[in-house]
Amino acid sequence: MFKLFKNIDNKTYKPKYGGLEIFKYIGPGLLVTVGFIDPGNWASNLAAGANYGYTLLWMVTLSTIMLILLQHNVAHLGIASGLCLSEAAAIHLKPRYSAILLSSAMMASISTSLAEILGGAIALNMLFLIPIRAGALLVTVFVVIMLYTNSYKIIEKWIIAFVSVIGLSFLYELSLVNIDWNSAIAGWVTPSFPKGSMVIIMSVLGAVVMPHNLFLHSEIIQSRQWNLQNEKIIKKQLNYEFLDTLFSMLIGWAINSAMILLAAATFFRTKSPVSELEQANQLLAPLLGNHAAIVFAVALLFSGIASTITSGMAAGSIFAGMYKEPYDIKDNHSRMGVAISLLIALGIIYLITNPFQGLIISQMILSIQLPFTIFLQVYLTSSAKVMGKYKNSLISKITLYTLGAIVAVLNIALFISLF
C-alpha cells in the first residue's frame, strides 16, 4: 500500500496511471519557461534580430540546451530529496554558509522582480500611457493579490494561459511578415559572431539561467510528488519531469526565436536598430500596423505579469527554505518572502530616476549571484547524502560544473561590459 504525500497545496493525492498520464506532469516547466521569456529577454532578442538579422538565432538554440540540462538537474533534487534548493542548502550546509548563499539569492530575487515589474509597467505605458511608476504599482498590487489569494494549482493554470497568449501573439506577428526561412534555419544551427555582436550574445547566453528559476523549479516540481519511498514512482516522476522540462523549454525556444525572427523581418530589413522595448513598439506600428503594435504590447504585459508572479513565488520559496520549510502561501515565512521581493523591488523603482539604468543594475546583481546558485545546486545534486542513489554520475557532474562555469564566465563578462 502506497504511503500518501501532500503536495504544496496541502492536498493529499494517490498516484494514478493511464494513457494520458503525461499531461498530469505538464506545468512546472512552463512556470520556469516564463523566466526564459521575461522582458529582459525581449530586449536582448529584439536587439539581436534588429541589428544582425537571423545570424544570432543559434544562441537561442544553445541557451535552451543549457537551460534544459540545468533545470532538469535541479528538478531531480526536488523529486529525489523532497526538498527545494533553499531547504536543502539550509539543512545540508553549515548555517553560516547557507545564510550567506540564501541571503544573496533573496537579493537576486529582488533584482529579478525589479526587472519583471518594470517590464509590465512599460507595457502599460505603451497601451494606456500610464506613467512607469504608477504602472509598476498596478503590476505589483495585481501580482500580490494573485499570489496571496490563489493556490499553486490555480496559479499554474494562469501562467499556462499567459504563456499561451504570448505564444499566440507572436504567431500573429509572424503571420504579418515574410520570413527568410532558409536563413533562419541556417541561423539556428550555425554559430556566428558578427562584428560588435558579443555584448548581445553574452546578454542572451549569460542570462539563460536566472537564480530564482533554479530555486523555483526544485520547489514546484514537488506539486507532482506522491510517494518518496516507492522507487518505481520516483523513476516515473524523473522520466515525466524530463518530458515536462523538454516540452516547456522548447516552447521558450520557439517564443524567443519568434522575437528574433520578427525583428529580423522588420527592423533589420528596414535598417532600424532597436535598443529599447518602447522603441520597438513604436517602430512596429508604421511597419505592420497599429494592431501589431497593440498585440506586441499586450504580449509584453502578460510576460511582465507572469514573470513577476514566478519571481515572487521563488522569493517565497527561498525565504521559507531559510527556515527549513517548503513554500506555502498560507505560511508566514512564504508570505514574507513574496512581500520582501516585490515591495522592495517596487520601492527601488520609485527611487530611481532612470528605469533603463535600473534594469542594468538588476542584471549586474544577477550576474554576480548566479555562479553561487549553480555551483550550490551541482554540489547538492552530486551528494549521496542529499540525493542517495540518484546523485549525479561523474559524467553528469563534470558536464554540469562545466555548464556552470560557462554561464558564470558569460555573466561576469556581461557584468564587465556594462562599465
Distances (CA, A) of 120 to 140, 258, 305, 418: 9, 20, 6, 24
Determine the structural domain holding residue 403 and report its residue range. Answer: 41-417
pLDDT tens-digit profile, the chain (419 residues): 223 334 444 444 444 444 455 556 666 778 888 888 888 788 888 888 999 999 999 999 998 998 999 999 999 898 888 899 999 999 999 999 999 999 999 999 999 999 899 999 999 999 999 999 999 999 999 999 999 998 888 898 899 899 999 999 999 999 999 999 999 999 999 999 898 888 788 777 766 778 899 999 999 887 665 555 566 767 777 777 888 888 889 999 999 999 999 999 999 988 888 777 777 887 788 878 888 889 999 999 999 999 999 999 999 999 999 999 999 999 999 999 999 999 999 999 999 887 766 776 777 788 788 889 999 999 999 999 999 989 999 999 999 999 989 888 877 777 776 66
Residue 269 has phi, psi (to 5 degrees) of -65, -35
Asked if the structure places residue 30 within a domain, the reply is: no
Q: What's the confidence (pLDDT) of residue 201?
A: 83
Asked if the structure places residue 283 within a domain, the reply is: yes
Q: What's the confidence (pLDDT) of residue 200?
A: 82
Tell me the β-bridge partners of 6.
12
Q: Give the model confidence (pLDDT) of 219-240 as tens digits.
A: 988 766 555 556 676 777 777 7
Asked if the structure places residue 362 within a domain, the reply is: yes
Q: What's the confidence (pLDDT) of residue 387?
A: 92
Helix boundaries (H) for 95-230: 95-128, 132-149, 152-175, 181-189, 198-206, 211-220
Question: Would you tell me how many other CB atoms lie within 10 Å of the CB of residue 21?
Answer: 12
Q: Give the model confidence (pLDDT) of 339-397 as tens digits.
A: 999 999 999 999 988 776 677 677 778 878 888 999 999 999 999 999 998 999 999 99
Longest CA pairwise span in the chain (Å): 67
Q: What's the confidence (pLDDT) of residue 224?
A: 60
Asked if the structure places residue 11 within a domain, the reply is: no
Asked if the structure places residue 280 within a domain, the reply is: yes
Which of 408, 404, 410, 406 has its CA nearest to residue 392? 404
Asked if the structure places residue 129 within a domain, the reply is: yes
Asked if the structure places residue 25 within a domain, the reply is: no
Stretch (H or E) spanning 151: none
Asked if the structure places residue 108 within a domain, the reply is: yes
What 3-state class would DSSP assign to 13?
strand
Q: Please tell me the total count of domains within the chain.
A: 1
* The pTM of the whole model exceeds 0.85: yes
Query: Which CATH number belongs to the domain containing residue 45 in this structure?
Result: 1.20.1740.10
